[in-house]
Structure 1
Amino acid sequence: MAGGSGQEDMFDSIFMSAERFRGEGYREGFERGTNRGLQDGRRHGASHGAKLSTEISFYYGFGTTWKCLLQHKTDLKSRKRLKAVESLLGLIQSSPHDDPYSEKLREDMEKLRAKFRQVCSMLNVPTDFKDYIKTSEGTSF
Structure 2
Amino acid sequence: MAKGSDNDVNIAFDALFVAEDSRYKEGLKDGEKMARDNNYHDGCQLGITKGSEHVQEVAFYEGFVETLLNWMDDEKKTELSQTSSGRRAMTVLAALDKLLKDTSLGSSILDPSQSNLTDDLDKVRGKFQQVMSLLKFDVSFGVPNSISF
CA distance in 2 between counterparts of 1:105 and 1:5 reads 67
User: Structure 1: which 5+ runs fail to align?
Assistant: 132-141
CA distance in 2 between counterparts of 1:23 and 1:32 reads 14
User: Structure 2: which 5+ runs fail to align?
Assistant: 144-149
Aligned positions of 1:79-118 closer than 5 A: 79-95=87-103, 96-118=108-130
Deviation at 1:68, TM superposition (A): 1.1
Q: Give CA-to-partner distance per residue, 1:79-124, whole Å, 9 cap, x none.
A: 5433322211111122312311111110111111110000001121
1:68 aligns with 2:70: yes
Alignment-mate amino acid for residue 5 of structure 1: N
In structure 1, which of residues 10, 13, 16 is the aligned counterpart of residue 12 of structure 2?
Answer: 10
Deviation at 1:36, TM superposition (A): 0.4
Q: For the Cα contact (< 8 Å) 2:62–2:97, is it kept in 1?
A: yes
CA distance in 1 between counterparts of 2:73 and 2:87 reads 8
CA distance in 2 between counterparts of 1:24 and 1:71 reads 72
State the superposition RMSD in angstroms. Answer: 1.8
Change beyond 3 A, Cα 1:124–1:85: same
Alignment-mate amino acid for residue 25 of structure 1: G
CA distance in 2 between counterparts of 1:79 and 1:121 reads 13
State, as a whole percentage, how many aligned pairs show the same letter.
Answer: 26
Q: Which structure's relative contact order is higher, taking Cα pairs within 8 Å and 6+ residues apart?
A: 2
1:139 alignment partner in structure 2: none
Aligned positions of 1:51-66 closer than 5 A: 51-66=53-68
CA distance in 2 between counterparts of 1:2 and 1:109 reads 77
Change beyond 3 A, Cα 1:87–1:129: farther
CA distance in 2 between counterparts of 1:130 and 1:122 reads 18
Change beyond 3 A, Cα 1:102–1:44: same
